Amino acid sequence: MKNAPISEELFQRAQHSIPGGVNSPVRAFRAVGGNPRFMVSANGPYMFDEDGNRYIEFINSWGPMILGHAAEIVQEAVQQAIPNSLSFGAPTRKEIEIAELIIDMVPSIEKVRMVNSGTEATMSAIRVARGYTGRNKMVKFEGCYHGHGDSFLIAAGSGAITLGVPDSPGVTQGVAADTLTAPYNDLEAVKTLVEANKDQVAAIILEPVAGNMGLVLPKPEFLQGLRDICDKEGIVLIFDEVMTGFRLAPGGAQELFGVTPDLTTLGKIIGGGMPVGAYGGKAEIMNFVAPAGPVYQAGTLSGNPIAMSAGMAMLKYLKMHPEVYTNLEATTSKMVTGMQDNMHKLGLNYTINQVGSMFSIFFTQQPVTDFESAKTSDTALFGRYFNAMLQRGIYLAPSQYESLFVSTAISDALVAEYLKANFEALQEAIQK
Ligand code: HOZ
């Protein structure tokens, strides 16, 4: 049993100084019940909380810890950079090197701008798309999450749906009116929206693999279909690869599925886990960004030297070790097959979605292909399952509407440990 009295005490204390006691909503465990665990350190496949509990973990900072926590190559790069100062607010050689590396690795990117988070990246990409096309509207998909920029908090996934506020108060009606939404994987709905808003749509933005309503894969024709609509209508196609970039393949989901967007947003992975984001794409569009062009976007901490060093170390490693991706997929497939066997033994038939090293178990028996089908999941059952796993030392995302991420630190022995816990937790969760 994993008791956590110190975490409980810290969570009570945090309520007085931090809204809801956390700095990002999903962490508050509201969707699963119980108190969040306050973490002290993490290494390889493990995280350790204030109470001295050890967890095998499958969030990996929501993606970037592809090599597990505290990867030596990243630690070394950061340590080497620290004595040269933490921030300059002036250009550095490292920024060019990482830009060149990203351009080399991601098929669609010809020019790239570093920012500090995925949210900044998506906000900026939309602004550039609007500046470039001279149009105001955008299409996003129900259940996709693109950070907390105003325009994206309409039918948003992740913490927004977890807490039941997919359309956040504070977003003006004017902003909401410019955001058109369609069901994920529904090309006909997109065509209808675009037709009804002829020459007004600046961008279509999506997660090419959705990870913020749980993991949902694009149907085979979906991404290419969007590409075709954008080409025909002069719309900028934006892939939000904050979670999938460098995780599903060296060039992200766009490499895996062979569809090239006009702009791509990237996040935490290019900082090796440090606070970084980026957006990039066709030079013709990126040349609209200031000071090359008129669309303004800036940041003192953009291209921060410590974050760039961490990111360079991570990306170089991934580029030189393509076997990482086959190994990660093999580990994840073992987990998924094992979970299916467990369910079979228990007479259960819940849906598991997987691509590469990302997966989700949905507590519903129907295929999950969009937000509506994701919402058929039994979230109370998910909450019981989550807590039963936590008690067994397995740390999952505290929401049905998030993806899980596997790192290279997950050995076969840990897969076996995970599957044992999964069997017992499923058994416990369905009994209540
Ligand atoms: N919205 C993030 C994952 N999709 C969660 C961020 C966090 O709580 O750290």
Q: Strand ranges (DSSP E) for 83-224?
A: 111-115, 137-141, 179-182, 201-206
Ligand 1 atom 6: the closest Cα is on which residue?
A: 24
Q: Single out the residue of 142, 2, 123, 118 nearest to residue 62, CA to CA.
A: 118
As separate numbers, helices (DSSP H) first and strands (DSSP E) second, the chain gives 15, 14
Classify each residue of 16-39 as buried b or exposed e, where b means 16 or more C-beta atoms within 10 Å of its C-beta.
eeeeebbeebbbbbbbbebbbbbb
Single-letter amino acid, residue 386: F
Q: What's the full length of the chain, in residues? A: 432
SS3 of residue 328 by DSSP: helix
Q: Which of 24, 122, 216, 268 to mutate to test the pocket of ligand 1 (most atoms within 8 A of CB)?
A: 24
The total of other beta-carbon atoms located within 10 Å of residue 5's CB is: 10
Q: Active-site residues: which are they?
A: 145, 240, 268
The answer regarding whether domain 5-70+322-431 maps to CATH 3.40.50.2300 reads no
Instruction: Please name the residue that has the structure tokens 């325009």.
Output: 151
Q: For residue 122, give every residue at least 6 positions away whose Cβ sits within 8 Å of its Cβ, in sequence order, or none.
A: 146, 147, 149, 152, 205, 238, 240, 242, 265, 279
- C-alpha of residue 398 to centroid of ligand 1, in Å: 10
pTM higher than 0.75 for the full model?
yes
Task: Say how many Å lie between the CA of residue 13 and the centre of ligand 1.
Answer: 22
Q: Which atom of ligand 1 is found nearest the CA of 212?
A: 4
Cα 403 to middle of ligand 1, angstroms: 10
CATH class of 72-320: alpha beta
Q: Looking at residue 1, what is its pLDDT?
A: 59
CA atoms within 13 A on the CB side of 302: 18
Q: Which residue has the tokens 């090599």?
A: 67
Q: Kindly state the DSSP code that residue 227 receives in the 8-state scheme.
A: H
Ligand 1 touching residue 146 (CB < 6 A): no
Q: For residue 67, give both structure tokens.
A: 């090599």
pLDDT in tens, the chain (432 residues): 578 999 999 999 999 999 999 999 999 999 999 999 999 999 999 999 999 999 999 999 999 999 999 999 999 999 999 999 999 999 999 999 999 999 999 989 999 999 999 999 999 999 999 999 999 999 999 999 999 999 898 888 887 777 777 778 888 888 888 999 999 999 999 999 999 999 999 999 999 999 999 999 999 999 999 999 999 999 999 999 999 999 999 999 999 999 999 999 999 899 989 999 999 999 999 999 999 999 999 999 999 999 999 999 999 999 999 999 999 999 999 999 999 999 999 999 999 999 999 999 999 999 999 999 999 999 999 999 999 999 999 999 999 999 999 999 999 999 999 999 999 999 999 997
Neighbouring CB atoms inside 10 A of 2's CB total 18
| Ligand 1 binding pocket includes 158 (Cβ within 6 Å) | yes
Tell me how far the alpha carbon of residue 147 lies from the centroid of ligand 1, in angstroms: 9
Domain boundaries, the chain: 5-70+322-431, 72-320
